[in-house]
Structure 1
């Protein structure tokens, strides 16, 4: 069987999880002692009639490579917030994205909007890490998790006051995501096996997300015209990373994407 790029990233994550096992009790203690974060759902249902922008702290990616290796996570996050971002996504995977839990913790302490941990979450210990670091929500990738694990992780996340964004890239994944009662569904236009981007797939899947569930368009969104296109397909929010992280003025970059009117589904 051909090994995909996603397979390699998941393998590296499993190795890191193995190193967490001896620290399970300490992680549980820190998570329980952490102050309550801003509710992730608050960012998704702000009452605003416009498409919300979730902006990402991101140094590099397996697809374009280096984006901004000298990125200061707190400066960028504060700039995103000033620009109108309703939440901040922080990549915490080190080998492939150059992120860390320290980035997440520093950002969560600096901003007032909810912060999402974006990583390859495979184990409950990673949820405790997220909670201890101040995250309001976590990303669960349907493609990376068997249905029973997706459900179990979603339940554990909610039990730890973490919102659950389930990411999908196909109709079967969307159907499975809806069974775990996610805080939101994210439709990723990027195929994590090949890293090819297809916004038409995102448009098709967005239309199938129930109106009661916030729908987030992810990947391949670079311009206001792209946000308009996703709004037309029914997106409630967009998650943007490379297009805002790489620019000299991230505040202006986010502001340029804000204000697009939602069309509904």
Structure 2
């Protein structure tokens, strides 16, 4: 079987994790001394379509998007436009992000922030909390059932919201089995990087009522956002279309202003 780009990214992250000799107990103790995290899930339950606005320098599929961005400046523009939360890439090698980007963005605004990265080890969860994140991404396609359960428990223990990213019914069931409260449907295939614009709409009815539903990838503007909001999504996670916009605050505001069709 041919190795995919996702396989390569995950292998690199797992290799890094395998060399991490820090004590899990010490990291946990440090996390438990921190001030409470901002309420990521609560922010997404606000009336209207919530926007998780992404600070994103580059992507594997598109290359550089805004390589020289100022994270604090971008975060401030997103907040001005009415974003509910921020997403900040911290993957250095493949997305050009860093923990410093997350810290700068979070310090500039009062919004909850998710660490957008490939969580492959327990220390990744603790590191997310220690670098200042309020939420952590758990990608079902990248984790086995034991890892999904362990990392979900760890996130809860240190006060992080877990965003469970899924692509299909099987992954949804796996997320629900570990008591997922925030479910993100990624419309981008992590193997081919192609976007299926209808995936989130197909999956929406299968996500139980009461959970926070997030649509990820392929949200090109208000028209796409309207379709997703009308399908029952509480929030959209948007990166490329707003980070490359001439007026980022206006781009977020346009997404925030959509009404159900």
> TM-score by structure 1 length?
0.94
Q: How has the CA–CA distance of structure 1 residues 249 and 156 changed in structure 2, closer, same or farther, with 3 Å as cutoff?
A: same
Aligned to 2:83: 85
Matches within 5 A, 1:6-21: 6-21=6-21
Describe the SS at the equivalent of 1:207: helix
Which sections of structure 1, spanning at least 5 residues, go unmatched?
none
> TM-score by structure 2 length?
0.95
Describe the SS at the equivalent of 1:33: coil
**Does the 8 Å CA contact 2:219/2:241 hold for their aligned counterparts?**
yes
**Does the 8 Å CA contact 1:188/1:202 hold for their aligned counterparts?**
yes
Describe the SS at the equivalent of 2:183: strand
Aligned to 1:248: 246
**Partners of 1:132 and 1:236 in 2: how far apart?**
28
Which of 188, 192, 195 aligns to 1:190? It is 188
Which sections of structure 2, spanning at least 5 residues, go unmatched?
none
Matches within 5 A, 1:1-265: 1-22=1-22, 24=24, 27-46=27-46, 48=47, 50-261=48-259
Per-residue deviation, residues 97-120 of structure 1 (Å, max 9, x unmatched): 111111112222221110001100
**Partners of 2:260 and 2:26 in 1: how far apart?**
43
**Partners of 1:136 and 1:262 in 2: how far apart?**
29
1:18 Cα offset (Å)? 2.7
**Does the 8 Å CA contact 2:27/2:123 hold for their aligned counterparts?**
yes
**Partners of 1:174 and 1:95 in 2: how far apart?**
29
1:24 Cα offset (Å)? 4.6
1:36 Cα offset (Å)? 1.5
The number of residues matched between the two structures is 261
Q: Tell me whether 114-123 or 247-256 shows the greater mean CA deviation.
A: 247-256
1:256 Cα offset (Å)? 1.2
Describe the SS at the equivalent of 2:179: coil
